[in-house]
Amino acid sequence: MAKKKISTPGILIAIGGAEDKFEEKYILNRFFEFSGGKKACIAILPSASQDERTGPAYHSIFSDFGAKTVDILPIFHHDDAYDETAVKTLEQATGIFLTGGDQNKITAVLSKTPAFEAIQKAHLKGAVIGGTSAGAAALSDPMIGGGSRGSLARSGMAKIAPGLGLAKSLIVDQHFHQRERLGRLMYAVMLNSHLVGVGVDEDTAAVIHPNEQIEVIGRGTVTIVDARKVQMFNPAGVPDKSPLVFSNIVLHTLTHGSRFSLKTSSLILERRSRGD
């Protein structure tokens, strides 16, 4: 009797937003290659955006790369996520791309629907899930649904909300250094110290592999915020906007080609260039 083949979950790609769409398109090309290259069947979900141009812009890019199929799925309302054609497209996709906008809208539209179940099934079978800006934030559960800027961790800096839960051990923030979001990511991981914070700069991506390694690609940095051994006063008891007292949060800064192991909480001393 033949053994049943066990599928490996696909890669997750959290893009910090404002990725290059006009010149080299390096990050989007890597998503395309991870999804199967010219054999890729890509589904674009513009659920987070109110801009009708968002989906077609990515459709044009992935089509020009040479993907086998590229579909924009107009899932903007909860009822849309029950559409049988959209569900079938998601089930068969080798790459699913979540655009930017509002991450709270993504979860409101997709939560507990056949479309989201199809995304989960496709990912477990190996499909790549990529998200930019809001699409990156929505990959985790809980997720950062909003908040205030600043490098100092203060009480109430981050609005914590239910996310998609595809990134099991992480909580993701985006536009990271450009919008001064270190403080809110630190606050978020203090509230959820079993999760590792991943702050992704613009035109940069954290490629999260099934073996729990994070690979960095792009022009900026990825900041890892590890609060799994944090010592602190109860942040829930601190008045809003007050600085938090804490110790033993570990920060790691990674650039293009860097790899980080979530299992060992350490840098993997092997760098890759843009040509690799």
Look at residues 159, 153, 178 and name the one whose alpha carbon lies nearest to residue 251.
Answer: 153
Distance CA 203, CA 275 (A): 17
Domain residues for the domain of 104 are 12-267
Domain annotation covers residue 105: yes
Which residue, chain included where needed, has tokens 């809003």? 240
Domain annotation covers residue 190: yes
Domain annotation covers residue 276: no
pLDDT of 4 above 60: no
91-116 confidence digits (pLDDT tens): 999 999 999 999 999 999 999 999 99
With beta carbons less than 8 A apart as the criterion, state whether 169 and 145 touch. Answer: no
Domain annotation covers residue 2: no
Q: Which of 35, 59, 155, 175 is catalytic?
A: 175
125-139 confidence digits (pLDDT tens): 999 999 999 999 999
25-77 confidence digits (pLDDT tens): 999 999 999 999 999 999 999 999 977 789 999 999 999 999 999 999 999 99
Domain annotation covers residue 272: no
Domain annotation covers residue 131: yes
Q: Which of 19, 123, 177, 202 is catalytic?
A: 202
**Number of structural domains found in the chain:** 1
Structure tokens at 132: 């930019």
With beta carbons less than 8 A apart as the criterion, state whether 182 and 157 touch. Answer: no
Concerning whether 215 is annotated as a catalytic residue, the answer is no
Distance CA 201, CA 56 (A): 24
Concerning whether 133 is annotated as a catalytic residue, the answer is yes
Concerning whether 270 is annotated as a catalytic residue, the answer is no
Q: Which of 133, 140, 155, 258 is catalytic?
A: 133
Domain annotation covers residue 52: yes
Which residue, chain included where needed, has tokens 């409101």? 108
The CATH number of residue 37's host domain is 3.40.50.880
